Amino acid sequence: MHAIRKPYLLFLGDVGSDIFAKTAHGLKDWCPDDCVAQWRLPDCSVDLGLQELAPQAAAAAGARSLVIAVAPIGGALPPHWIPAILAGIEAGLDIVSGMHGTLAAVPAIAEAARRKGVALHDVRQAPAGIPIGTGRKRTGRRLLTIGTDCALGKKYTALAIAREMQRQGISATFRATGQTGILIAGGGIPIDAVISDFVAGAAEILSPDAPTDHWDVIEGQGSLFHPAYAAVTLGLIHGSQPDAMILCHEPGRERINGYPDFPVPALTAAIRHFENCAQLTNPAARVVGVSLNTSRLSPEQRAEAIRAAMDETGLPAFDPVATSIADLVRSFAGTLDHAA
């Protein structure tokens, strides 16, 4: 798995919109203590509110990696950013990128990294040597976030649950499966970059045998109802062998985002489908709650959406950002531990 040195200097380039800075904002929101500073080129209009430090000063302040924390259109490293990356290398910082192209494919970056002895991390590149899945039941407990569609809160839900478990004294680890999650956790596997035959095996590596009272909280990817990304979801489910699943949903979203011919399923139908698929490798797998992304709703609408989801499913429902999840975590963790 990727293992990335913290803390970070967040490089924002010269992007002109927060739309291209989701990774930067995710890191600031979920691991602020790991973000030493930001560094921007002239004309950058994104500001995280962090102190502004160039690489040498950031390294002196404790930074260990420079993270390219923005994604320009096309996902390629702009040539005029290369001098900034080289400055990070000269300061002794590892370089972390979520671009589609690899850092080592840029000769100047590869040579400088070799000379300075720093690591280049391309977090959208799957590590080598991933085996196929075994289906072997592993020790420990696992929770996987799943969704009725993509981009509706699976990462934030997993992070919130892992944090609340730790607050309650429950042994728990957030297991990252996507670019931003990997940077927040400091390690993980980019599941959507793994060849399909090996996705289940990657999930097994990501969440190995653990003590019986330990929970791995695994970041979900894709959706079983997405015409393009259902395959990665299924492999992740089978390899994760979840004991518990949290179904993520955005109230009011009626069609799969970008695919208007494909409807978003009813919550109860989604729960049945996910449980049927998960029970191939863990017959005890079940959905234990519904996480709602209510960021577009008023407080009154949020409350109504939560009530409606609870009435439809008979399960606890919540917004991981706007509502408390303490009782939910205490309830399902205790129930499943008792059943075990």
Q: Is 120 helix (H, G, I), strand (E, B) or coil?
A: strand
The answer to whether domain 2-122 and domain 141-339 are alike in fold is: yes
Please name the residue that has the structure tokens 């102190």. 51
DSSP 84-113: HHHHHHHTT-EEEE-SSS-GGGSHHHHHHH
Q: Which pairing describes strands 244-249 and 141-147: parallel, antiparallel, or unpaired? A: parallel
CATH code 3.70.10.10 for 2-122: no
Q: Is 221 helix (H, G, I), strand (E, B) or coil?
A: coil
Map out the domains of the chain as residue ranges. Answer: 2-122, 141-339
CATH code 3.40.640.10 for 141-339: no
pTM above 0.85, yes or no: yes
Query: Structure tokens of 188?
Result: 């993980």
pLDDT of 76 reads 82
Return the percent helix, strand and coil in the chain, to nearest 5.
40, 20, 40
Query: Structure tokens of 127?
Result: 């590590």
Each residue's pLDDT expressed in tens, for the chain with a length of 340 residues: 667 899 999 999 999 888 788 889 989 989 999 999 999 999 999 999 999 999 999 999 999 999 999 987 667 899 999 999 999 999 999 999 988 789 999 999 999 999 999 999 998 888 889 999 999 999 999 999 999 999 899 999 999 999 999 999 999 999 999 988 998 988 899 998 999 999 999 999 999 999 999 999 999 999 999 999 999 999 999 999 999 999 999 999 999 999 999 999 999 999 999 999 999 999 999 999 999 999 999 999 999 999 999 999 999 999 999 999 999 898 877 766 655 5
User: CA angle, corner 45, sides to 41 and 49, nearest 5?
Assistant: 90
Query: Structure tokens of 175?
Result: 């297991």
With beta carbons less than 8 A apart as the criterion, state whether 107 and 120 touch.
Answer: no
